[in-house]
Structure 1
């Protein structure tokens, strides 16, 4: 991952790194399906009007047009029908739900693992082309609040199965924050949320300055907003700490109640993995309730590797609403750190477990018969391309990371003998092509903790 990319922000992995990525994707897929989520894939492009209706991200959207398109077809940033690559999977999913509502059963549970694109400055954990793994539950008209709790528990289970070490899921509630800001007398809570969302990037003084400049806050109001953001507890103790700040508003009370329910249940099922963190805001406008961010312990500078929240009005069709709650795992972001610091490595870069050697150039068909029999029993096998000296064939297997080499010989009386060599230990033993199987740990590449 430290290699210099030929095109900045577009990651290309080596085979051994790809093994780790596939392990992560397969693990996430397995967890999501265990919880009853159906897989789907949406198109890579959406209209600019669809993408930009929620959140301030227009500078990062990649527009799409034909090289030979005329000016009318190209449109522009002000043309809502201009095509653009999606920058996340939530907005396309909302469009998908609206268009297919008549064919879906609600609450609808889906997972989606796809590439996304954002035109931002590349750095570790931030690429222009990246993979996200999303889960969402969407209701028709209403969605029980218990799904907010379930999301936190699924995130804890899914991330615990990945080779990323310890992590913490930080949870807040937009109603709590908005109610608090309104109770302070600030009438533009969205501007406050956006400023607070930058706390880790620009610090307290930067947030105060932005609140004064963009949200019309006094310095006293800005300091009160920061006092709220400073509250962080592993249990429901945050409730009394918020009330001690002396701010009152009905929306604040609703948010406190919802967050207390999520933290109370999730911390019981996933102790040490979940905290109430009232600095979490999430920058996109469509979140309306619970919001989540997740950091790897010891790697907080990487940013959130799993984020999301509740949205009540992202998907709307006439007077029909489809509220939802979801999470997005930043696969490319977490892999960047896993691979760079060798938190996990592949036991070999290729799926091949056995190389069937050639004693002479006429023996390829017989060797392929052996390989076919091994493959039929689920053993990944290659056949040597030429009858080079056995030492060279063994070196080829070693270079490729193939652990076993198969030898076939014929005695003077016509007896066919088969032997297999573990080139790591040097042990060579007789083997029956109809029954021999490598040790379970060698059948396929595995992902193991790094050094």
Structure 2
């Protein structure tokens, strides 16, 4: 990464690292499109009123204005930079519903901005990759299943290491709380969501203080949160804990999570665990909730999260339920690049550096380069006829693998400056090995 940052919280990459980032983005795009998700880009700016619909991060929003802005009229909306892709997407759906075919499937990879305190893994400007499926009035539960499977396949395609999708269903948690007589379920969900950060003793205390739980109810809520299974046996554990008085909502949550885990184990085996401590603190989640841990990088927290929402987007009586997941691309990349687990084989796209015998040869050298380019081989031409040794050193310093020579009779040779081998070639037919055509992504555990 660029080693000198004049502003903290903003990531700038060196060229080889940018190739690694582009590889990640292209891989995500390919997987998303293979499953029928359409690309979408929304504006960077929203009204403050729109962004504050999410409520709890108002202190992190960056407001924007002109340096020489005149006094704003009362009718003008205050503007701010988006802090995620979900809220702008909800606004986009309501404004363009007449032009969309539902269920609408989209992916969106864009930068967002938050006024956070910069620290490891936390940035003020960062990229997120989102996928959502949104319905008009209703959305089948199968969409929850599909979107989690798609994201698991996207993470597998990145080959970034072992990861686990931790899945739960808020209907299950909320239904359990109702079954045991705990009525302030939103508060209980927010408290349980902090279990890993503050520990069970503090969670029990906060359940009593903020959710009105008795000591027995707090203990039962903690026991529920400690259930983790890699199969569907979680359902029997929950029923045993709930006793013979399960609420209908609890049964619905059990059924949905059982279906989700069954499909995940069939389609992306070994990637998911039913973890009933996962709650997601945001109130708009209504069913499936997901967090993802990257093994060896647990300090990053969840690298991919999201879930089901029934009414994040609405227009009058028309409601657009949806389910979505988001990858924190910048957080993930910064960790993998810093640790050396993800890198690029070179920092330039150039495959061939075409040398000059004299400055008069620049035009013919461009003709050679154009022949190569037309066949998909990236080529650069020297800007001046320095000694061949200097031209070769320049190509080597740039990380260009091949150097091209043309003699006074128009005969061509190409040199692989890594091995030193040199051969006679024809610019209309020569091609390098496939792996040299583009910078290759290097993974620490796999090599090239």
TM bracket, shorter-chain basis: over 0.9
Contact 1:55 1:286 in 2 (8 A): no
Matching residue of 2:389: 391
State the shift of 1:358 in Å. 0.9
Which residue number corresponds to residue 114 of structure 2? Answer: 118
Equivalent residue of 1:339, what SS? Answer: helix
Quick check: 1:228–1:242 contact (8 Å CA) kept in 2?
yes
CA distance change for structure 1 residues 12 and 2 in 2, over 3 Å: closer, same or farther?
A: closer
Over residues 350-381 of structure 1, what are the superposed CA-to-partner deviations in whole Å (9 max), with x where a residue is unaligned? 10001000111111111111111111111011
Q: Secondary structure at the residue paired with 2:411?
A: strand
> Is residue 180–residue 242 contact of structure 2 (8 Å, CA) maintained in 1?
no
Partner of 2:210: 214
SS in 2 for 1:152: helix
| Structure-2 residue corresponding to 1:132 | 128
Structure 1 residue 4: deviation in Å? 4.7
- How far apart in 2 are the matches of 1:405 and 1:219? 75
> 2:351·2:402 contact (CA, 8 Å) conserved in 1?
yes
Number of the residue aligned with 2:420: 426
Is 1:8 matched up with 2:2?
A: no
Instruction: Give the 3 Å change call, closer, same or farther, for CA 421–135 of structure 1 in structure 2.
Output: same
State the match for 1:56 in structure 2. Answer: 56
Counterpart position of 2:433? 439
* SS in structure 2 at match of 1:314: strand
CA distance in 1, matches of 2:72, 2:217: 48
* 1:150 and 2:159 aligned: no
Q: How does 1:188-207 map to 2 (within 5 A)?
A: 188-207=184-203
Which residue does 1:407 correspond to in 2? 405
Task: Give 2:293's aligned residue.
Answer: 295
Shift of 1:190: 1.6
Answer whether contact 2:343 2:442 (CA < 8 A) is retained. Answer: yes
Distance (whole Å) between structure 2 residues aligned to residue 80 and residue 233 of structure 1: 53
1:448 aligned to 2:446?
Answer: no
Aligned to 2:360, which of 359, 362, 376? 362
Following superposition of structure 1 onto structure 2, how do residues 260-279 of structure 1 map, counting pairs within 5 Å?
260-279=258-277
Q: Which residue among 158, 163, 188 is the counterpart of 2:159?
A: 163
- Once residues 52 and 278 of structure 1 are traced to their aligned partners in structure 2, the CA distance between those partners, rounded to angstroms, is 29
1:80 CA drift (Å): 10
The total of aligned residue pairs comes to 443
Mean Cα deviation higher: 199-208 or 1-10 = 1-10
SS for the counterpart of 1:267 is helix
Conserved 8 A contact 1:181-1:189:
yes
CA contact (8 A) 1:163 1:343 kept: no
**Structure 1 counterpart SS, 2:136:** coil
1:55–1:284 Cα contact (<8 Å) kept: no
- Tell me the CA shift for residue 256 of structure 1: 0.9
- 2:313 maps to 315
Deviation at 1:197, TM superposition (A): 1.5
Counterpart-to-counterpart distance in 2, 1:427 and 1:182: 75
> Normalization by structure 1: what TM-score?
0.95
Match of 2:351 among 350, 353, 358: 353
Taking the TM superposition and a 5 Å limit, the aligned residue runs for 1:234-245 are 234-245=230-241
Question: What are the superposed Cα offsets for residues 227-247 of structure 1, whole Å, 9 maximum, x if unpaired?
Answer: 111111111111111112126
Shift of 1:70: 4.4
Counterparts of 1:71 and 1:207, CA distance in 2: 48
1:134-168, Cα deviation, whole Å (9 max, x unpaired): 11111111111111111111011110011311111
| Residue 71 of structure 1: how far off its partner (Å) | 5.4
Is contact 2:39–2:106 with CA below 8 Å preserved after alignment? Answer: yes
Once the two structures are overlaid, the 10-residue window that deviates more, 196-205 or 261-270, is 196-205
Classify the secondary structure of the residue corresponding to 1:165: coil
Q: CA deviation at 1:2?
A: 8.3
3-state DSSP class of the match of 2:407?
strand
How do 1:28-47 residues align onto structure 2 when only pairs under 5 Å count? 28-47=28-47
CA distance in 1, matches of 2:204, 2:60: 26
SS at match of 2:346: coil
Per-residue deviation, 1:210: 2.6
RMSD of aligned Cα (Å): 1.7
- Once residues 89 and 379 of structure 2 are traced to their aligned partners in structure 1, the CA distance between those partners, rounded to angstroms, is 41
Q: Which position in structure 2 is the counterpart of 1:259?
A: 257
Distance of aligned partners of 1:308 and 1:383 in 2 relative to their CA distance in 1, 3 Å threshold: same
Aligned-residue offset at 1:172: 0.5
Pairwise CA distance, 1:214: 2.2
Say if 1:300 and 1:389 are closer, same or farther in 2 by CA, change over 3 A. Answer: same
Q: Which runs of 5+ in 2 are unaligned?
A: none
Aligned mates of 2:325, 2:105 — CA distance in 1: 12
| Gapped regions of structure 1 (runs ≥ 5) | none
**Could you give the per-residue CA deviations for residues 171-204 of structure 1, whole angstroms, max 9, x where no partner exists?**
1111111112222333222222222222222222
Partner-residue secondary structure (3-state), 1:285: coil
Q: Is the 8 A contact 2:27 2:158 kept in 1?
A: yes
Corresponding residue SS for 1:135: strand
User: Greater shift after overlay, 4-13 or 346-355?
Assistant: 4-13
Question: Residues 5 and 193 (structure 1 numbering): CA distance in 2 closer, same or farther, change over 3 Å?
Answer: farther
